[in-house]
Structure 1
Amino acid sequence: MTRLVVTGTDTGIGKTVFAAGLTAALGACYWKPVQAGLDEETDSETVARLGAVAPDRILTEAYRLSAPRSPHHAAAIEGIAIDVDRLTPPASERPLVIEGAGGVLVPLTSSVTFGDVFARWRLPVVLCARTALGTINHSLLSLEALRHRGVPVLGVTLIGDDEPETAQAIAGIGQVRILGRLPRLASLTAPALREAFAAAFRVDDFADAIAEVSDQAAGSVSFR
């Protein structure tokens, strides 16, 4: 069964919007392992709304933390110790889209980052990157961090305005496929996202890429 991880080069770049579009396109379930920040719409709620995803396909977070901070900080504020062993992808009869928090090296504890958890899972990862200035550096550093941990990289998804030279640099220097680009949407609604996602991506490309990288990702690693 298709399972993949969506992460980003930074926070607030649009990866949850992309995750909503991907979850809808795959007819998948969605899981956010750790939600930090409960005062506004959570990422799970955003995916449900923008992806028009039924409640039974939104899987319960392992941790729900009130403060809009990095998970390790939000947990400390509440006196909670995140147990990374609880962060095991849940079983699902449908494809499963898992979304991390912020960037690859966002800390979950004082010694474990999301990248370390991705390494344990050995699931294919989609790296979301904005197309604004600075994204080449952020993207290449994120790719390096993932590969250093042996995480299989499915490809990079660009979010924002069309910047061909930026895409070419990331693809060439990073030796990675560009899966597509999700443009800025004037009206961020479920129908608008569905239409934009269908125009920007081919679902079969994700399936083909997952099969390819999964063949290269046998085995598992432990936390350091």
Structure 2
Amino acid sequence: MKPRFVVTGTDTDIGKSVFSAALVQALQARYWKPVQSGLEGETDTAFVERMVPGSTLPEAWRLVTPASPHLAAEIDGVEIDTDALNPPTIDAPLVIEGAGGALVPVTRNVLYADVFARWQIPVIVCARTALGTINHSLMTVEALKARGVPIHGIAFIGEAMPDSEATIPAIAGVRRLGRLDRLPAITPEALRAAFAAGFDIADFT
């Protein structure tokens, strides 16, 4: 079976899309963002498509308002049916990126973590290495485990912080997959080199 992963985070704007693009590139995978809220500027799908041309699949919902999906849908006058939110069936590796953190609400009654629990696809938690990451990372892992979500491991993003990168996996009981450096300029070539330097592709195949 082709590998499939869900990429979530401990917070918003920590680099999930950059990591997702790097993983898509490394696995020669397809990319899917279930719900995109906020269409001004470059969306996450558009960014991944720019990094890995031909890799992206259409979002299930595209919401104009830049807000949490539950609020964006209400403002846009759209009702998201989470029961119909199912990963596409494709004959290729698949990388699915959530929105913000694992507990972001998709609707007033359903969080992303609830959707992940139904899917039972291994989740990769992206965590920044900056101050506060231990607390945020451990809470994210606990929330996922409480719902029975399978966790593939933690991918750190940012400058090296050896203590945090060792402490979080040890306490959480999940593996450290590696670390993606912050890139001064994000290009396909730089992304490929950074992923190769920070991760072992065998951990994803």
Distance (Å, rounded) in 1 between the aligned partners of 2:117 and 2:169 = 22
CA contact (8 A) 2:32 2:96 kept: yes
1:14 aligns with 2:15: yes
Report the counterpart of residue 203 of structure 2 in structure 1.
205
Q: Give CA deviations for 1:110-152 in whole Å, capped at 9, x if unaligned.
A: 1100000000000000000000000100000000000000000
* CA–CA distance in structure 2, aligned partners of residues 198 and 164 of structure 1: 19
Aligned counterpart, 2:184: 186
2:89 aligns with 91
> Which residue identity lines up with residue 8 of structure 2 in the other structure?
T
Partner residue, 2:43: 42
Corresponding position of 2:33: 32
3-state secondary structure, aligned to 2:7 = strand
State the Cα deviation string for residues 79-138 of structure 1 (Å, max 9, x = none): 111100221000111100000000000001111000000000000000000000001000
Partner secondary structure for residue 103 of structure 2: coil
Amino acid at match of 1:128: C
Aligned counterparts, 1:1-224, within 5 A: 1-50=2-51, 52-54=52-54, 57-207=55-205
Residue 219 of structure 1 is matched in structure 2 by none
Distance (whole Å) between structure 2 residues aligned to residue 144 and residue 162 of structure 1: 24
- Pairs aligned (count): 204
**Runs (5+) with no aligned partner, structure 1:** 208-224
Structure 2 CA distance for aligned equivalents of residues 152 and 196 of structure 1: 26
Moved more, 61-70 or 197-206: 197-206
Letter in 2 for 1:35: Q
Q: How many Å separate the matches in 2 of 1:147 and 1:182? A: 24
In structure 2, what residue type is equivalent to 1:18? Answer: F
The residue identity in structure 2 corresponding to 1:25 is A
Give distance in 2, aligned partners of 1:58 and 1:186: 24
Deviation at 1:20, TM superposition (A): 0.1
Moved more, 147-156 or 189-198: 189-198
Separation (CA, whole Å) in 2 of partners of 1:110 and 1:69: 13
How many percent of aligned residue pairs carry the same amino acid?
57
TM-superposed CA distance for 1:189, in Å, is: 1.1
Task: Output the CA distance in 1 between the equivalents of 2:42 and 2:120.
Answer: 30
Structure 1 contact 62–86 (Cα < 8 Å) conserved: no
Residue 53 of structure 1: how far off its partner (Å)? 2.9
Secondary structure at 1:35 match in 2: strand
Compute the displacement of 1:12 (Å).
0.1
Letter in 1 for 2:66: P
Write out the 4+ residue segments of structure 1 that deviate beyond 6 Å after TM superposition. none
Q: Structure 1 CA distance, aligned partners of 2:38 and 2:77?
A: 15
Give 2:135's aligned amino acid: N
Does the Cα contact within 8 Å between 2:3 and 2:204 map onto a contact in 1? no
